[in-house]
Amino acid sequence: MSELLNRRLSLLGEGDNLSLLKQCLHGIERECLRVTADGRLAQTPHPEALGAALTHEQITTDYSESLLEFITPALADPAKTLESLESIHRFAYTKLGEEFLWSPSMPCPLPAEEDIPIAWYGSSNIGQLKYVYRKGLALRYGRTMQCIAGIHYNFSLPEQLWPLLRQAEGQAGVDEREYQSSAYIALIRNFRRYSWLLMYLFGASPALDAGFLRGRPHQLEPFDADTLYLPYATSLRMSDLGYQSNAQAGLTPCYNDLASYTDSLRKAVATPYPPYVEIGTHQDGEWVQLNTNILQIENEYYSNIRPKRVTYSGERPIQALVARGIQYVEVRCLDINPFLPTGIDLPQARFLDAFLLFCALEESPLLENGECGQCTSNFLSVVKEGRRPNLQLSRGGQPITLTQWADELLERIAPLAAVLDRSLGGDEHAKALAMQKAKVKEPALTPSAQVLDSMRAHQESFSRFALRQSQAHAEFFRGEALSSAEQQHFEALAQASLEAQATLEREEHPVDFDLFVSAYQASILAISN
């Protein structure tokens, strides 16, 4: 344990400080495809009974009309966050008719590229902006790629923790907001160093439907006539899969401070990319992308973790970060576990909390001298062959086996699990940590190994396995109804969202959409660091 981590843990263990850890906040966003009874992509519109995707805070769509996104509130108790996620699923199933929610991250057999429906958000300017942005994603990366689903885990440390650390570390002269942001950026640097461990422990996409690659060249192996896989893969979802964003290749936002991070994204949103310029923003008088720059908007940048701040209405993510600093992090690399009805469970959340607390409090030197590239290389090795016996990673330029490094990391995380258990009572975090240690010792316990074992045991393709799991989860959710009060609560949210969208469309000032887009683009150029 580093001296810094030791000091910080001692400080957290003192008197009232220990209770601060009860105020960490946890939110979950779970994406999932709607599919037909025979496991094909549902091409029906977003069910109106679920509400308006544009204005509903808990049930929306991601890229496609068929790709649902369920969003929990940020709560202090992760058990309550998971209960909230389960309730959203139960409500959704009361409105899905014959359709199912697809259980894994990798999609079902998909229709022709042009038949994957892009999410529609109505006729308001902001609704159209979201739609055109997605048309741009289709143009740049293809619609197929956008049908992959994941789980995003939002996590924040208590606001009162930062002044405490700032004082104890003799940095009282540093601006409070600046100190907090730099601490979250330090967390992100450590996450970049160690997130390969999460892919080994929780990766759950070692196989996919053969049609997904649309005949593109790849390095995958046939599992059966309908399935491609890699024998030791943990998360093909997080691998390159033959998809390379040439436009984003040169874009490596620096996580050495918040200003350099926001600046690199701001430049990418304002810098033309020649192949996109050639296409233009319009075809046959119709918008096809918001602009011809490296990124249309900052959220187009694909990353495993993002610094975040709740935005005000009409505010862009970078504007919020520049104005008010980092408030929480969004972990974006988690696969949906197809054996779990909501795709994630409480032991995983407990371990994530200990892991993220470790990343936040441990020493976090700047990423220099090629360490960034080493982080990426370790991550890609683990997603493609994390269960390979004696797999070697690179630490400080020296080879080390995954199992040795994972064991050492879990030992270093143990004191964080212990301090969380002391704060909250019980031993849930220690138990969650023990479950992860067992996976390092026995790779067959990892979700990725279990997916392949289940497919072999049932002699079934990836899609048959996924449909079987989807049907089992549907029975789980339909088997126990929400209380009438909860059902009414969700019905009211759905109705309110439909009314909010209708009001927006009715009352919106008649601003020309082209002018609206211009003003939106200009808003980012106005940000000054």
- The CATH number assigned to the domain holding 238 equals 3.30.590.20
Section 69-98 average pLDDT: 98
Tokens of 191: 């996450």
Taking 90 as the threshold, does the pLDDT of residue 100 lie above it? yes
**pLDDT greater at residue 365 or residue 254:** 365
CA distance 318 to 311: 9
Taking 60 as the threshold, does the pLDDT of residue 528 lie above it? no
Residue 248 within any structural domain of the chain:
yes
CA distance 417 to 399: 28
Lowest mean pLDDT among 181-185, 252-256, 472-476: 252-256
Taking 90 as the threshold, does the pLDDT of residue 513 lie above it? yes
pLDDT in tens, 121-153: 999 999 999 999 999 999 999 999 999 999 999
Residue 379 within any structural domain of the chain:
yes
Distance of alpha carbon 85 from the chain centroid: 15
DSSP E strand stretches across 201-339 = 207-209, 221-224, 227-229, 282-283, 286-287, 305-308, 328-334
Residue 243: the pLDDT is 62
Taking 50 as the threshold, does the pLDDT of residue 83 lie above it? yes
What count of other Cβ atoms lies within 10 Å of the Cβ of residue 426? 10
Residue 18 within any structural domain of the chain:
no
pLDDT in tens, 21-46: 999 999 999 999 999 999 999 999 99
Phi, psi of 54 (to 5 degrees): -70, -35
CB 199 within 8 A of CB 238: yes
pLDDT in tens, 377-403: 999 999 999 999 999 999 999 999 999
CB 303 within 8 A of CB 332: yes
Residue 527: the pLDDT is 66
In which element (H, E) is residue 393 found? strand 392-395
Q: Strand, helix or coil at 220?
A: coil
Residue 156 within any structural domain of the chain:
yes
Closest by CA to 91, choosing from 500, 497, 467, is 497
* C-alpha dist (Å) from residue 266 to 177, 297, 312, 438: 21, 9, 19, 43
Percentage of the residues of the chain whose pLDDT score is greater than 90: 90
pLDDT in tens, 422-475: 999 999 999 999 999 999 999 999 999 999 999 999 999 999 999 999 999 999
Residue 244: the pLDDT is 61
Residue 242: the pLDDT is 60
Residue 179 within any structural domain of the chain:
yes
Residue 17 within any structural domain of the chain:
no
Section 397-410 average pLDDT: 97
Taking 90 as the threshold, does the pLDDT of residue 211 lie above it? yes
Residue 88 within any structural domain of the chain:
yes
CA distance 476 to 479: 5
Q: In the chain, how many domains are there? A: 1
Residue 76 within any structural domain of the chain:
yes
pLDDT in tens, 328-365: 999 999 999 999 999 999 999 999 999 999 999 999 99
Residue 196: the pLDDT is 98
Percentage of the residues of the chain whose pLDDT score is greater than 70: 98
| DSSP state at residue 107 | P
Phi, psi of 119 (to 5 degrees): -60, 135
What count of other Cβ atoms lies within 10 Å of the Cβ of residue 56? 22
Q: Which domain holds residue 46?
A: 3-10+24-525
The rounded radius of gyration (Å) of the Cα atoms in the chain is: 23
Q: How many residues can be counted in the chain?
A: 529
Residue 172: pLDDT band by 50, 70, 90 thresholds?
confident
**CA torsion angle 289 293 295 296 (round to 10):** -30
Taking 90 as the threshold, does the pLDDT of residue 249 lie above it? no
